[in-house]
Amino acid sequence: MAIKLLLEKAHVQGIRTYEVYRREGGYTALEKALKELSPEAIVEELKKSGMRGRGGAGFPTGMKWSFIAKPEGVPRHLVCNADESEPGTFKDRYLMEFLPHLLIEGLIISSFALGSNATYIYIRGEYAWIPDILEEAIREAKAAGFLGNNILGTGFDCEIYVQRGAGAYICGEETALIESLEGKRGNPRIKPPFPAIKGVWDRPTVVNNVETLAALVPIIKMGGEEYAKIGIGRSTGTKLISACGNINKPGVYEIDMTISVEEFIYSDEYCGGIPNGKRLKACIPGGSSVPILPANLLLKTTKGETRYMNYESLSDGGFATGSMMGSGGFIVLDEDQCIVKHTYTLARFYRHESCGQCSPCREGTGWMEKILKNIETGKGKMSDIDLLWDIQRKIEGNTICPLGDAAAWPVAAAIRHFRDEFEWHITNPQEAQIRNFGLAHYADPIHIPVTEHSKSI
């Protein structure tokens, strides 16, 4: 049984209420933080823990916090990014829905560490029922004296506000989120200046993912060094994975990043294998924007090593043969799934969610969608594949925010690994309307050349 830090108490009856949460040892980390630790010490603990941002990019949170500017007389803000809109990702929703107090506790600790007296939770509009849960939790925490003025007699004031978004994927990008929070159109800002210098209302701001902020609670409870012992290498602590697709047990799982991908998919403790005896074809290990991997590259790296569920192992091989941990949206595709249709669906999503501010993303996402639709409906041409490749190449890296990259990567990876499926769709347009390409060779073991030299290493 793996270590559980965040979801340990998730199944306790009534854990959503303050009473039960407190009885189960809730808010003790907050008491420890406010009474025994200084803000600097909390940041220090966080640095020691080595925790990396859970929102997708995996940037070390302690380092991010140390960048925040502290000009005299200017308020600072902490914003919790609950605009979880990445297709396949629903871990924050689970956390907020069932353990709202864990997030609130983490938020108060973080606000204290960063000196934020007004902290915001920016939540996506589609999570229509969750703001009520959070607001109830905030009300309870305030009644218990953990929010408001002079918390626990430390002289620290803090209020938490829940702000609903209107349902835009782009508002999960931190600067677009800030714009939206200010009541403007959710267009990403041009960086620099970074939010740590000029964020909400031009004040220094830290924007963190829900899971990141909730993880502050176990880090403070056990201490940064203890936390860093869980996991492996630079992937410390536990990570929530939201698994979905063709698996027996979709849901949110907490893993300690030492298990293999194969274990995660087939173990009964986690996804429980693929239903109806089907075989694994492909998987997106970290949310829709990260590169899709065929079964053979997913389970083993090109060096022949087992691939593990952590930041380093999943990105082993770079984009050529690897992928990314991303936000932990684990999407499994079995042999009956069509990669072309899947890629088209994602392209349609990114086209719909592009903010339209910068040209490559605005025009390129729509173009890719149209070409993919043609291929999917049997009207594609062989030259379309190279054209798609060229379009994604011209979008990637040339846009204001990472949405351009996020739209380009899935298309690039699909063509890179599943080119023959695209070609089959084009050469057999009629057949492609009736049946799928199937598993083909995508699960075949990769030949790893062995030489005298490599043996000696």
Partner 1 sequence: MSEQQLFKVTIDNITIEVPAGTSILEAARKIGGEVAPPAMCFYSKLKGSGGKCRTCLVEVSKGSEKDPRPMPKLVASCRTTVMDGMEVKNITSPKVIDARAGVVEFLLLNHPLDCPICDQAGECHLQDLSYEHGKEGTRYEFQRRTFKKHDLGPYIQLHMTRCIMCFRCVFTADQLTENRVHGVLDRGDHAEIATFIEKSLDNDFIGNVIDVCPVGALTDKTFRFKNRVWFLKPMDAHRDCPKCSGKVTLWNRGEEVFRVTARKDEWGEVEDWICNECRFEKKHSNDWVIEGPREISRHSVISQGHYLDAVKPTETFLAVNDGRAPHLLLDIHTESDVNKPEIELSLINGPAHSNNFNSK
Strands 231-232, 205-209: pairing is unpaired
Instruction: Return the range that interacts with partner 1 (CB under 8 A); candidates 129-137, 221-229, 265-273, 346-354.
Output: 346-354
Q: What are phi and psi of 119, to 5 degrees?
A: -115, 140
User: For partner 1, which is the closer residue by CB, 193 or 223?
Assistant: 193
Site for partner 1 in 13-72 (CB under 8 A): none
Instruction: Return the range that interacts with partner 1 (CB under 8 A); candidates 96-104, 220-228, 306-314, 350-358.
Output: 350-358
Instruction: Return the range that interacts with partner 1 (CB under 8 A); candidates 44-52, 113-121, 281-289, 360-368.
Output: 360-368
For residue 370, state whether it binds partner 1 (rule: CB under 8 A).
yes
Q: How many CB atoms lie within 10 A of CB 121?
A: 27
Contact characters 297-336, partner 1, x per CB under 8 A: ----------------------------------------
Residue 395 Cβ, how far from partner 1 at the closest point, in Å? Answer: 8
Q: What is each CA distance from 45 to 6, 68, 111, 115, 323, in whole angstroms? A: 18, 17, 15, 16, 30
For residue 7, state whether it binds partner 1 (rule: CB under 8 A).
no
User: For partner 1, which is the closer residue by CB, 162 or 385?
Assistant: 385
User: For partner 1, which is the closer residue by CB, 238 or 357?
Assistant: 357
Query: Residues near 156 by Cβ (< 8 Å), separated by ≥ 6?
Result: 34, 112, 150
For residue 356, state whether it binds partner 1 (rule: CB under 8 A).
yes
Distance CA 221, CA 251 (A): 27
Select from 43, 95, 355, 375 the one that contacts partner 1 (CB under 8 A).
355
Cis peptide before 192 (omega within 30 of 0): yes
Pick from 156, 155, 179, 192: nearest CA to 79: 179
Residue 390 Cβ, how far from partner 1 at the closest point, in Å? Answer: 8
Contact characters 152-191, partner 1, x per CB under 8 A: ----------------x-x--------------x----x-
Residue 54 Cβ, how far from partner 1 at the closest point, in Å? Answer: 23
Residue 368 Cβ, how far from partner 1 at the closest point, in Å? Answer: 11
Alpha carbon 246 to chain centroid, angstroms: 20
Tokens of 256: 């300690």
User: For partner 1, which is the closer residue by CB, 119 or 343?
Assistant: 343
Instruction: Return the range that interacts with partner 1 (CB under 8 A); candidates 54-62, 219-227, 323-331, 395-403.
Output: 395-403
Q: In this structure, are residues 214 and 121 in contact, taking their beta carbons and an 8 Å threshold?
A: no
Helical residues (DSSP H) of 12-155, grouped into ranges? 18-23, 28-36, 39-49, 61-66, 91-98, 100-114, 130-143
Pick from 98, 108, 84: nearest CA to 213: 108
Within 13 Å, how many C-alpha atoms sit on residue 76's CB side?
Answer: 22
For residue 231, state whether it binds partner 1 (rule: CB under 8 A).
no
Query: Could you list the residues that contact partner 1 (CB under 8 A)?
Result: 168, 170, 185, 190, 351-360, 362-367, 370, 387, 394, 397-400
